[in-house]
Structures are given as structure tokens and as C-alpha cells.
């Protein structure tokens, strides 16, 4: 190629062109980064200024106040915070172990061909839109829940969580199950990728020493990936906390704090989805912005928390994988 | 065990019986049982996930298939329950495309910044990675509220463009992350080869690195776009006021969309509206799953190509 002949005496013209080109490309890339940063800052700003009337009126009392009565201009988020916590906790309690188990199956138990089919199928659960989960939940799942509630109540009724059954199947319990389905693919695919990065020497060494598969999982795979697994779980939690549409269809958007999971309830995101399009007064809108602000803060903390937990670990693994690939 | 220092008498059982069957006993057997139980537990967990996916897809397909017809796809709705969903389909395509056109360049440029310009230890690079993580963690309903404050309130009107911008914010971190991951996979030897030929950085990026990663980048874009197509929360906040009966392609007006059609059909509480709901849900779900499968095939192909290089 002709290029080699011209390397040292490059004409000033091409050098200038290359310098300008580099600057332009760098400028565009940096601009994109600046836009991301501005978006994030403005996001917080818009929520604060639009929530301001409600913040001025209720202050931090909003968090502990249980009433939500748009007609009387009284707003509090306590029951939404409770509903958000309970429904997400339920999703996590069921979804995290199930997701980790699926990841174990895909990375260690299933034959390669099987996991090449089952893995993508599980990930498809993440592709299903939340509105479809919502309608499936309300039309297919809720009637089923309604039928099994009495059984659960009579078997586990001594735990306050399984209170007396309702007639509709619209409940925190149903919402928790729908959220479980939604976080399952997140936890399982992240954990599977983590488990696959565990060095073969370690697992094979243990196998050579006569460890069973469970002993390898418990003694080597889980301890060496525990931070990543926790981070994956927290990311799943973040998804559950912020889900609006699916939950708004199955939880009932009801006020009040109930011990029983079979009662309808509300979450921060769900309340906004349900009531934002038809506000009763401007304080109602502002209070929903306030709820959105709370949700933003919670999700901010979960994302940063997941990052902190995964820490250096994740980055090193990723680079290691990129280097070997 | 205590064989040393005392002699075996002829009546004692032999210390090692070579004819005994090789079955685990005691502790070893217990360990094998536990491991077997964990194996089957994990397999059952995977089975549960696949079966649930089957339930959801079957639930939608079995109810939606009966609503489908050419007229359902190619005519506008007539009245509250009759007719098709053409206007909503067109509106969704328009909103999602506008959003993707905004998000795609920003996402690829951000990915390029992270891989080509910010070093591994660079502070700005790390800050941007955190910003993308946080942005990805923002619930879509909050994104909707943000755009409501940013665009809908100043414009005094809900609009398709507001929803498109909200969807762009949903897509942006997904596209940036996907681009970053694929760009990291481009072999360092390609960059070094370009450098050694004296190719300017920007030319190397545009003619060598990005083309090498193109398959993965496109895959990321398809996945992010499919994700955004099913988003309902931002539409509900920013684009919920529109005429449901006519086609509206002016993005500065309220534009009908498939997710909103599904969401509002439920409130009508008449059986015919439910038929339309499931028909629309069927088209939405099949479209999104098809896009996912397509993206996967594309990724497998580009991986194979890159592995060969």
C-alpha cells in the first residue's frame, strides 16, 4: 500500500485534517456524555420543582402520613411506601432464589444444547411488556389466585401475611407474583453470566477432590461470586420497586396499610400511573410528583448500591472476559 | 481401623472385600443425595420459568388470535369497540422510531466515548458509566413525569414527540451499554494495525472499529427499541390525550399508540373491547418477541464472524 511510503513526511494538510477529525469525533462523543449528564440533573430538577407545592405543604411528614384524599387536599405516602416495600420484598423473596437456581441450572447442570435454548427463553420473560404482564395478571392470574387464597389462608393463616381471602384476587399478593416474574430474568441472566466466569481450575480442582456438585456450588461458585449475585438481586429489586403499569392493574390502588397480602394496596409507581392522567387538583399532581421524587431517590440508591456491591469485582471480571474473548 | 498390633484371627471378616458392590454408604451417600436434590431443584426452577413464559404467551395468543384479521390490522377503529387498530400501530411505530432516532446516535457516541476516549481509569469515563447506570435504573414512570415537566407543561399539550423523547431516555442507556460492550470486544490488534498504518484516530474509529462492532451495536439497538415499544408508563403520562378513532401522524399532537389502546380498552369493561385488547396485545407481544429473536440471530452471526477474524 502507498501509505507506508508516506508515513514520516505526512503532508501538513492530512495532518490537520486528521487533527480536526479527531477533535470533531471527540467533541461529538463528549457532547453525548454531557447530554446524558444534563438529562440526569434536569430529571431531578423537574421532579423537585413540580413537587414543590406538595413539598412545601407536607414536608417530610408526607413520608409518614397515611391519608391520600385528593378531594380534601390531604396527601401522604406512608401506605404507598409500605406497599412498594412489601410487594417488592415478596418478589425478591421468591424471585431471587428461583433466579439463582435457574442460573445454576443454565451454567452448570444443563447440557450445552439445552441451556442454549432454555437460557434465551428465560430471557424472553424480560422482553414481555409490562402492560401484557398486567393484563395477564388481572385476567388470567387473579382468578387463579382467588381460588387458591382460601387454601393458603387455612394452611398458613397463623402468619398475619396470609389473612382472610378477598373476593377478587386483586391484591398485593398477585402484584408480588407478577413482579417475581418480571425480576426473574434479570437475576437469572446476570447470575448465569457471573457463574460462567468462575475459573475452571477451581471447580475442576474441587471435582477432582471428590466434591459433589452442590459442594462445588456452595463452597466455590457462590462464595466467589457473592458480591455479583447480590448486585444482581439489587438490580432486580430496582426493577420491582419502579414497576408501574403491571402493578397498577393487579394491586387495586387502595389506601391503607394491611398486614395481609391478600388485601389490595398501592405502590408509589402504581399510584402515579393510576391517578396522574386525571388529577383532581393541582396539589394532587404535585403530590404525585413528590411520590415520583421519592421513587427516584429510592431507585437511585438501589442502582448506586448495586454498583457499590459489585464494586471492582465486576469490572475486573468483565475486562478479563473481554481480554480472553 | 485398629489393625496394628493385633493379629487377625481366621473368623474375623476381611478388612477389604473386593467383591462388595460399589455403592456409596453413610456420609458419602448423603452427600450424593443432597447434590442430586439440588440438581433437580435447579432444573425445576428453570422449568417453572419456561412454563410461566408459556402461560403468558399462551394466555395472550389464545385470546388474541381470534381477533386477528387483515381488517383488524389495516383499518381504523369504528366506534368504541368495532374496527381495527391501524391508527395505533402507525402511531406506535412513529413514536418509537422518533425515539430510536434520538437515542441511537447518542447511545453509540456515549459508547465510543467510554471505550475509545476515556481510559479505563479515567474519572470522566467512570462518572459517565455511573450516570448511565443510574439512568437505566430510573423507573419509566419517573421518566414520564420528567418529560411531562420538561415538555408537556411548557407546551400546554401532551404530544407524541414528548412520549418519543421519554422513550429515547429509556433506550439511551440500553444502547450505550450495548455499544460499549461490543466495542470492548473488538480485538486490540485491529486498533494497533490501524495505528501502525498511520491512520488518524477518527478514521480508525469510523472505518475499522465501528464496522467491526456493527453487528453487536445493531443488535443492541433492536433490543432497546423492542423494549421501548412495549413501554406504557411514559405514554400514559405524556401522550394519553388523543383522538382514538383517527390516524394522527403529526407528532406535536396526541398520537394514538398500541400500549395506550390496550390500557384504555380495559376501562371500557365491555367484552368486545376485551377482544380488541387481546388482539392488540397479541400483535405487540409477537412483534417484540420476533424482534428479540431476530436480534439474537444477528448477534450470533456477528459473533461467529468476529470469532473467525
Kindly give the confidence (pLDDT) of every residue in chain B, 309 residues in length, as a single tens digit, with 9 standing for 90 and above: 444 555 656 666 666 677 777 676 678 888 889 999 999 999 999 999 999 999 999 999 998 888 888 888 888 888 777 788 999 999 999 999 999 999 999 999 999 999 888 876 788 888 898 999 999 999 999 999 999 999 999 999 999 999 999 999 999 999 999 999 999 888 888 888 988 988 888 888 888 899 989 988 999 999 999 999 999 999 999 999 898 888 888 999 999 999 999 998 887 777 778 888 899 999 999 999 999 999 988 888 877 776 544
Does B52 sit within 8 Å of A135, measured CB to CB?
no
Listed by number, the residues of chain A in 209-238 with a beta carbon closer than 8 Å to a beta carbon of chain B are 212-215, 217, 235, 238
Distance from CA of A133 to the nearest CA of B (A): 8
Beta-bridge partner residues of B83: B77
Residues of B in contact with A238 (CB under 8 A): 137
C-alpha dist (Å) from residue A198 to A97, A107, A108, A118: 19, 10, 11, 21
C-alpha dist (Å) from residue A215 to A108, A121, A159, A210, A230: 13, 28, 34, 9, 20
Under a CB-based contact definition with an 8 Å cutoff, are residues A301 and A49 in contact?
no
* Gap between the Cα atoms of A267 and A254, Å rounded: 9
Residues of A in contact with B296 (CB under 8 A): 120
Under a CB-based contact definition with an 8 Å cutoff, are residues A147 and A263 in contact?
no
CA triplet B246, B251, B252: central angle to 5 degrees? 105
Which of A39, A210, A246 to probe by mutation at the B interface, max B CB count within 10 Å? Answer: A39
Does A121 sit within 8 Å of B113, measured CB to CB?
no
Which of B202, B237, B278, B283 to probe by mutation at the A interface, max A CB count within 10 Å? Answer: B202
Cell numbers of A244, please? 408501574
Helix, strand, coil percentages (3-state) for chain A, rounded to 5, are 80, 0, 20
A52-64: average pLDDT? 92
Distance from CA of B10 to the nearest CA of A (A): 35
The answer to whether A117 contacts chain B (CB < 8 Å) is no
Which of B145, B162, B278 to probe by mutation at the A interface, max A CB count within 10 Å? Answer: B145
Is the alpha carbon torsion for B74, A246, A296, A286 positive or negative?
positive
* Gap between the Cα atoms of A45 and A43, Å rounded: 5
Cell numbers of A308, please? 457499590
Q: Which helix (H) or strand (E) holds B76?
A: none
| Minimum Cα–Cα distance from A98: chain B residue | B45
Sequence-separated (6 or more) residues with CB below 8 Å from residue A42: B146, B150
Measured distance between the N- and C-terminal CA atoms of chain A, rounded to whole angstroms: 30
* Gap between the Cα atoms of A131 and A137, Å rounded: 9
Residue A249 confidence (pLDDT): 93
A296-320: average pLDDT? 76
Residue A8 confidence (pLDDT): 47
* Gap between the Cα atoms of B96 and B168, Å rounded: 8
Residues of B in contact with A220 (CB under 8 A): none
The answer to whether A3 contacts chain B (CB < 8 Å) is yes
Nearest partner of A237 among A307, A303, A161, judged by Cα: A303
Residue of higher predicted confidence among B229 and A6: B229
Local structure of B257: helix, strand or coil = coil
Distance from CA of B5 to the nearest CA of A (A): 32
The answer to whether A297 contacts chain B (CB < 8 Å) is no
Cβ-Cβ contacts under 8 Å between A and B: the total is 275
Distance from CA of A17 to the nearest CA of B (A): 9
Is the alpha carbon torsion for B102, B103, B104, B105 positive or negative?
positive
Residue of higher predicted confidence among A150 and A239: A239
Residue B6 confidence (pLDDT): 56
- Partner-chain residue, chosen from A49, A132, A245, that has the shortest CB–CB distance to B60: A132
Picking from A73-82, A135-144, A266-275, B24-33, which range would have the lowest pLDDT averaged per residue? B24-33
Q: Where are the alpha helices (DSSP H) in chain B?
A: 26-64, 70-74, 86-112, 123-137, 140-147, 153-155, 160-185, 188-196, 201-204, 210-229, 233-238, 258-268, 271-308
Phi and psi dihedrals of A69, rounded to 5? -130, 90
CA triplet A58, A62, A66: central angle to 5 degrees? 125
Amino acid at each position: 500500500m502507498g501509505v507506508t511510503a508516506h508515513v514520516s513526511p505526512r503532508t501538513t494538510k492530512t495532518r490537520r485534517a486528521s487533527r480536526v477529525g479527531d477533535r470533531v469525533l471527540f467533541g461529538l462523543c463528549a457532547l453525548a456524555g454531557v447530554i446524558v449528564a444534563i438529562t440526569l440533573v434536569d430529571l431531578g430538577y423537574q421532579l423537585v420543582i413540580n413537587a414543590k407545592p406538595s413539598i412545601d405543604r407536607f414536608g417530610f411528614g408526607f413520608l409518614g402520613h397515611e391519608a391520600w384524599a385528593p378531594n380534601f387536599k390531604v396527601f401522604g405516602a406512608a401506605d404507598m411506601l409500605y406497599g412498594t416495600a412489601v410487594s417488592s420484598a415478596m418478589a425478591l423473596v421468591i424471585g431471587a432464589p428461583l433466579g439463582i437456581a435457574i442460573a445454576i441450572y443454565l451454567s452448570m447442570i444443563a447440557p450445552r444444547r439445552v441451556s442454549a435454548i432454555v437460557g434465551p427463553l428465560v430471557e424472553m420473560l424480560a422482553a414481555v411488556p409490562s402492560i401484557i404482564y398486567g393484563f395477564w395478571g388481572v385476567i388470567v392470574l387473579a382468578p387463579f389466585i382467588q381460588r387458591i387464597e382460601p387454601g393458603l389462608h387455612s394452611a398458613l393463616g397463623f402468619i398475619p401475611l396470609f389473612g382472610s381471602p378477598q373476593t377478587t384476587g386483586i391484591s398485593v399478593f398477585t402484584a408480588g407474583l407478577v413482579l417475581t416474574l418480571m425480576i426473574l430474568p434479570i437475576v437469572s441472566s446476570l447470575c448465569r453470566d457471573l457463574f460462567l466466569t468462575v475459573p475452571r481450575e477451581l471447580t475442576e480442582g474441587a471435582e477432582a477432590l471428590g466434591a459433589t456438585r452442590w459442594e462445588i456450588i456452595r463452597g466455590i461458585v457462590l462464595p466467589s461470586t457473592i458480591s455479583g449475585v447480590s448486585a444482581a438481586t439489587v438490580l432486580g429489586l430496582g426493577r420491582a420497586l419502579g414497576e408501574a403499569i403491571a402493578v397498577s392493574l393487579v394491586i387495586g390502588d387502595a389506601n391503607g396499610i394491611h398486614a395481609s397480602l391478600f388485601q389490595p394496596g398501592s405502590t408509589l409507581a402504581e399510584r402515579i400511573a393510576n391517578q396522574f392522567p386525571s388529577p383532581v387538583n393541582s396539589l394532587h399532581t404535585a403530590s404525585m410528583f413528590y411520590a415520583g421524587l421519592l421513587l427516584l431517590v429510592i431507585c437511585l440508591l438501589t442502582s448506586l448500591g448495586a454498583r457499590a456491591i459489585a464494586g471492582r469485582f465486576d469490572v475486573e471480571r468483565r475486562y478479563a472476559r473481554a481480554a480472553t474473548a | 481401623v485398629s489393625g496394628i498390633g493385633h493379629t487377625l484371627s481366621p473368623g474375623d471378616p476381611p478388612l477389604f472385600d473386593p467383591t462388595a458392590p460399589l455403592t456409596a454408604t453413610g456420609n458419602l451417600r448423603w452427600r450424593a443425595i443432597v447434590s442430586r436434590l439440588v440438581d433437580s431443584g435447579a432444573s425445576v426452577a428453570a422449568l417453572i420459568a419456561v412454563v410461566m413464559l408459556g402461560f403468558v404467551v399462551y394466555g395472550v395468543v389464545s385470546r388474541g388470535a381470534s381477533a386477528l384479521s387483515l381488517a383488524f390490522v389495516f383499518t381504523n377503529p369504528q366506534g368504541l369497540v368495532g374496527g381495527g387498530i391501524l391508527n395505533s400501530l402507525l402511531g406506535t411505530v412513529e413514536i418509537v422510531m422518533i425515539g430510536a432516532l434520538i437515542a441511537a446516535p447518542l447511545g453509540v457516541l456515549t459508547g465510543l466515548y467510554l471505550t475509545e476516549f476515556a481510559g479505563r481509569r479515567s474519572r470522566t469515563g467512570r462518572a459517565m458509566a455511573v450516570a448511565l447506570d443510574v439512568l437505566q435504573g430510573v423507573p419509566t414512570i419517573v421518566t414520564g413525569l420528567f418529560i411531562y415537566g420538561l415538555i408537556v407543561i411548557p407546551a400546554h399539550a401532551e404530544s407524541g414527540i414528548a412520549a418519543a423523547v421519554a422513550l429515547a431516555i429509556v433506550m439511551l442507556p440500553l444502547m450505550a451499554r450495548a455499544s460499549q460492550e461490543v466495542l470492548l470486544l473488538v480485538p486490540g490488534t485491529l486498533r494497533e494495525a490501524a495505528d501502525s498504518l498511520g491512520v488518524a484516530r477518527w478514521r480508525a474509529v469510523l472505518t475499522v472499529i465501528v464496522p467491526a462492532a456493527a453487528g453487536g451495536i445493531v443488535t443492541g439497538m433492536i433490543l432497546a427499541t423492542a423494549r421501548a415499544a412495549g413501554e406504557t408508563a411514559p405514554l400514559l403520562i405524556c401522550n394519553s390525550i388523543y383522538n382514538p378513532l383517527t390516524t394522527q401522524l403529526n407528532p406535536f399532537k396526541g398520537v394514538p399508540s398500541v400500549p395506550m389502546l390496550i390500557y384504555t380498552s380495559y376501562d371500557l369493561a365491555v367484552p368486545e373491547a376485551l377482544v380488541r385488547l387481546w388482539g392488540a396485545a397479541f400483535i405487540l407481544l409477537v412483534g417484540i418477541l420476533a424482534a428479540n429473536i431476530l436480534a439474537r440471530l444477528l448477534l450470533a452471526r456477528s459473533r461467529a464472524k468476529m470469532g473467525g477474524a
